[in-house]
Chain A
Amino acid sequence: MSQTKSSNGAPLLRVENLTKHFSVRIGAYGETKATVHALDEVSFDVQRGETLGLVGESGCGKSTAGLTLLQLHQPTSGKVFFDDTEVTGLSDKEMRPLRRRMQIIFQDPYSTLSPRMTIGNAIGEPLWLHELATGQEAQERIAKLLDDVGLNPAFAFRYPHEFSGGQRQRVCIARALACEPEFIVCDEPISALDVSIQAQIINLLQDLQEEYNLTYLFIAHDLAVVRHISDRVAVMYLGRVVEMAPKEKLFDNPLHPYTNALLLSVPVPNPRQERQREHTVIQGNVPSAISPPSGCRFHPRCPLAFEPCDHEVPEWREVESGHWVACHAV
């Protein structure tokens, strides 16, 4: 399936050395200024029609990456190109027509819908804001969108509290689709849902992608889900992308020791295999992004760490076609 998607031609989205630092105050009285290195020199691109998975543990900067490339955070430095237009540095007014084409679905469908707005109005708001439809036409569009995401069009007059978590996430997806975007950032869209509902939403996202030729950046911490839905996968650790490859390569032949450790941490849903497989557990915790380790940020936990790792940042390089990695040991 993934091979048929075009990887030739210009990418729909290109991210170059994107960096986002946050200033915070720490200490009991906030007397010390510090910088959180949430995102450091991240580069990747997303081809039209593909799904790029972005995985990593909490605090690795994967959500910051999604928000910053949509200009919902002002980047500290770096550039983002959408369909060959540079979006970094555009004014809000210049950004608006582009926002119609780039949408986002968030993790928690409970806090992203206004409890005082009917779901029909929630879905219709982007239509009115972008002046895409009004009156009867808008109502028809809303009904069509509800139908697209598997909800009864008669639900348009109901409020969010009348729906379950999975149904609310369907509403959020309908709202993201309303202005006919080309690109959607899915920021952990299924983490808050039960297992049986997760599968429904994954299938829905895949169906919609096929129907409307959508491009996804799929952010998640669940490697099995990312493997299922993505064409290519990028792995983040402490603000940096450490490896990126087509999913078959990444999961069958991980090159970065962190990717490997992540894959070994995932439990296998088969008791006989679980008993036989080796359980090498990665030691320690993710360090603070306020004072990230020098050199390769993974070196304090890395089983392969050697001389240059603690002072030299490993180069982000393509070791074979389409397989990028940042590691001295590879």
Chain B
Amino acid sequence: MSVLLDVQELQTRFRVRKGHVYAVNGVSFQLEEGETLAVVGESGCGKSVTMLSLVRLLPPAASIENGQVLLRGEDLLQIDQRQLRDVRGGQIGMIFQDPMTSLNPFINIGTQMAEPLIYHRGMSKKDALDRSAELLEMVGIPDGKARLREYPHQFSGGMRQRVMIAMSMSCEPAVLIADEPTTALDVTIQAQIVELVKELRDRSGVAVIWITHDLSVVAGIADRVIVMYAGYIVEEAPVDALFEDPRHPYTVGLMGALPSLGGETGTRLTTIGGSPPDLVDLPDFCPFHPRCPYAIDRCRTENPMLEPVAEASDRGHNAACWVDIRDVKVQTETDTAIAGG
């Protein structure tokens, strides 16, 4: 496998009235050809901003301060707007959380689907519409040709997300970025969409970046997982290693907080006390230490780097933590006390 996308030291911040919000703080990761990488974290952890920074789809208040985004060796942060247009939708496809706001309500589905094919592939309108009809059938919308004339409001939420997936895959991109594509959907529809993306991925070999806050979805789709907190990657591991041998206290906390259909009932959930930090300063300490049951003195004065974990069960398992949590037993029953602070 070769590296398709190589992100180095990416830093993105937002200008606000009182200074800056440091949303992404030196994030580095690689995506291999055909790989599915899941990015997990709570709201405000910088997972979406990181991925939007890759294609520079950021609001005016945001600026990328530093870093490289190499797609097959070409730095996407250096190219001009024209070249960037060829990358967006051409080499990198995107699906967003809310399919209603990503489709134009005034334009029929066919015209919207044909647009990228005409722009990126130089197809005629007729060919583009024929191809769009095929794509609709490919994503499980029967009678594609007739439905091209319909408008977004005539599709249900799950169907709209299928249309978005068909559009994002239409130019056979190398990378598909899916930003919480199932969060707005019901669980049965979510299962349909996950199966669809897996099927398309296996057939086309596209590499997928799947952004989500839901660890259980990750288990079924990802090869590798990145866990983000406060704009940093705190843990990175192959999916089996992450679930069986999590090494960052935040990952451990997230897993404990998750009730599962197979788990014990009648027990209390372990919780992570407190709430995520404001990102108005760049911390010179571990950003997770105020909520961390394992915190030691060093966590309050030095921010740990992402480093390979000791005795990893799998290659490429990194965590940013001063403590080897396997050595420590802690009590995690202080949730209500911390929540008040």
Tell me if A227 counts as interface (CB < 8 A to partner B). Answer: yes
Binds A, one of B88-96, B119-127, B143-151, B251-259: B251-259
Q: In the assembled complex, which residues on chain B have CB atoms less than 8 Å from the CB atom of A1?
A: 266
Contact of A150 with B261 at beta-carbon distance under 8 Å, contacts A195-B42, A279-B191, A281-B192 already known: no
In the complex, are the beta carbons of A199 and B191 less than 8 A apart?
Answer: no
Tell me if A71 counts as interface (CB < 8 A to partner B). Answer: no
Q: Could you tell me the distance between the alpha carbons of A225 and B257 in the complex, rounded to whole angstroms?
A: 10
In the complex, are the beta carbons of B276 and A194 less than 8 A apart?
Answer: yes
In the complex, are the beta carbons of B255 and A279 less than 8 A apart?
Answer: no
Q: In the assembled complex, which residues on chain A have CB atoms less than 8 Å from the CB atom of B217?
A: 267
Tell me if A100 counts as interface (CB < 8 A to partner B). Answer: no
Tell me if B220 counts as interface (CB < 8 A to partner A). Answer: yes
Q: Of the candidates B189, B219, B222, which one forms a contact with A268 in the assembled complex, judged by CB atoms under 8 Å apart?
A: B219
In the complex, are the beta carbons of B271 and A196 less than 8 A apart?
Answer: yes
Closest residue of B by beta carbon distance from A285: B156
Closest residue of B by beta carbon distance from A207: B336
Q: Could you tell me the distance between the alpha carbons of A264 and B214 in the complex, rounded to whole angstroms?
A: 17
In the complex, are the beta carbons of B216 and A269 less than 8 A apart?
Answer: yes
Q: In the assembled complex, which residues on chain B have CB atoms less than 8 Å from the CB atom of A269?
A: 215-216, 218-219, 243, 255, 258, 260
B249-287 CB contact bits vs A (8 Å, 1 = yes)? Answer: 000011111111111011011111101100000000000
Q: Could you tell me the distance between the alpha carbons of A206 and B266 in the complex, rounded to whole angstroms?
A: 10
The tally of residues in B whose CB lies under 8 Å from a CB in A reads: 53
Q: In the assembled complex, which residues on chain A have CB atoms less than 8 Å from the CB atom of B337?
A: 150
Q: In the assembled complex, which residues on chain A have CB atoms less than 8 Å from the CB atom of B215?
A: 195, 269
Q: In the assembled complex, which residues on chain A have CB atoms less than 8 Å from the CB atom of B253?
A: 196
Q: Of the candidates B42, B188, B261, which one forms a contact with A196 in the assembled complex, judged by CB atoms under 8 Å apart?
A: B42
Q: In the assembled complex, which residues on chain B have CB atoms less than 8 Å from the CB atom of A152?
A: 340-341
Contact of A266 with B261 at beta-carbon distance under 8 Å, contacts A196-B254, A199-B269, A203-B271 already known: yes
Interface residues of B in 167-201 (CB under 8 A from A): 186-192, 194-195
In the assembled complex, how far is the CB of residue B17 from the closest CB belonging to chain A, in whole angstroms? 15
In the complex, are the beta carbons of B254 and A151 less than 8 A apart?
Answer: no
Q: In the assembled complex, which residues on chain B have CB atoms less than 8 Å from the CB atom of A282?
A: 188, 191-192
Q: By CB atoms of chain A within 10 A, which of B188, B217, B222, B341 has the most?
A: B188
In the complex, are the beta carbons of B219 and A271 less than 8 A apart?
Answer: yes
Interface residues of B in 80-102 (CB under 8 A from A): none
Give chain A's interface secondary structure class.
helix
In the complex, are the beta carbons of A224 and B275 less than 8 A apart?
Answer: no
In the assembled complex, how far is the CB of residue A28 from the closest CB belonging to chain B, in whole angstroms? 11
In the assembled complex, how far is the CB of residue B190 from the closest CB belonging to chain A, in whole angstroms? 7
Tell me if A202 counts as interface (CB < 8 A to partner B). Answer: yes
Tell me if A125 counts as interface (CB < 8 A to partner B). Answer: no
Q: Could you tell me the distance between the alpha carbons of A215 and B296 in the complex, rounded to whole angstroms?
A: 42
In the complex, are the beta carbons of A195 and B257 less than 8 A apart?
Answer: yes
Interface residues of A in 274-324 (CB under 8 A from B): 274-275, 279, 281-283, 285-286
Tell me if B239 counts as interface (CB < 8 A to partner A). Answer: yes
Closest residue of A by beta carbon distance from B191: A265
In the complex, are the beta carbons of A197 and B187 less than 8 A apart?
Answer: no
B328-341 CB contact bits vs A (8 Å, 1 = yes)? Answer: 00000001110111
Q: Could you tell me the distance between the alpha carbons of A274 and B335 in the complex, rounded to whole angstroms?
A: 31
Q: Could you tell me the distance between the alpha carbons of A271 and B218 in the complex, rounded to whole angstroms?
A: 8
Tell me if B245 counts as interface (CB < 8 A to partner A). Answer: no
Q: Of the candidates A167, A194, A285, which one forms a contact with B42 in the assembled complex, judged by CB atoms under 8 Å apart?
A: A194
Q: Of the candidates B156, B187, B271, B336, which one forms a contact with A223 in the assembled complex, judged by CB atoms under 8 Å apart?
A: B187
In the complex, are the beta carbons of A281 and B271 less than 8 A apart?
Answer: no
Given A225-B259, A268-B220, 10 additional A-B pairs, CB 8 A? A150-B335, A170-B339, A200-B272, A223-B187, A224-B259, A265-B188, A267-B190, A267-B219, A269-B218, A281-B188
30 pairs, CB–CB < 8 Å, chain A vs chain B = A150-B335, A150-B336, A150-B340, A164-B275, A194-B42, A196-B42, A199-B256, A199-B257, A199-B258, A200-B339, A202-B259, A202-B269, A203-B335, A206-B268, A223-B261, A261-B188, A262-B187, A263-B261, A266-B187, A267-B216, A267-B217, A268-B216, A268-B219, A269-B218, A269-B219, A270-B262, A273-B262, A281-B192, A283-B192, A285-B158
Which positions in A face B, CB cutoff 8 Å? 1-2, 57-58, 150-152, 155, 164, 166-167, 170, 194-200, 202-204, 206-207, 221-225, 227-228, 247, 251, 261-275, 279, 281-283, 285-286
- Smallest CB-CB A-B distances: 7 pairs: A150-B336, A199-B257, A228-B259, A265-B191, A196-B272, A57-B186, A269-B216
